[in-house]
Amino acid sequence: MKQLTKVQKNFLCSDFYIHHISRSIYAVIFLQGFVGRLFREFGVVIAGAVLISAFVSLTLTPMLNAYMVRKNPKKSRFYEMSEPFFVNMVNTYESSLGRFMKKRWLAFVILLGSFVVIFFVGNSIQSELAPLEDRSWFQGFHYCTGRCIV
């Protein structure tokens, strides 16, 4: 069997993810009832965005990547100026991650605190989607002064 190139492998991977994202978005479009009416337009917009993203990721991105990647890359002046910042950022992240991993139990404390905050905030907000004042009742008035054609 012919060995796949990196571009072909990336195409297959991105095609897989785009397919499953699209399926979940299309499921939102065909929801029934009150929730379906709320999310139908949202689903159509997101589905359109996914299709545009799929087109870009499957056509333009590999082409631009093949064009921009060279065999003997020459580092630009901007790269030389900005690279120390990114190296410092990676080193800072690595050291902070190392310090955090020495205190792993702190992750459970943060997680528990998050659950407590979510519980109390969730209980304090309204559970109704529509405002309580909305009772699906509409009353219109038409006042006519003098001559008017209705």
Nearest to 51 by CA among 29, 70, 67, 31: 29
Tens-digit pLDDT profile for residues 91-149: 999 999 999 999 999 999 999 999 999 999 888 876 665 555 555 555 555 555 555 45
* Structural domain includes residue 47: yes
| pTM, entire model | 0.41
The identity of residue 34, as a single letter, is F
* Structural domain includes residue 126: no
The identity of residue 77, as a single letter, is R
DSSP conformation class of 104: T
Q: Distance between the two ends of the chain, CA-based, in angstroms? A: 79
Q: Can you point out the beta strands (E) in 57-146?
A: none
Nearest to 25 by CA among 58, 33, 17, 60: 17
* Structural domain includes residue 55: yes
* Domain count across the chain: 1
User: Domain residues for 34?
Assistant: 1-71
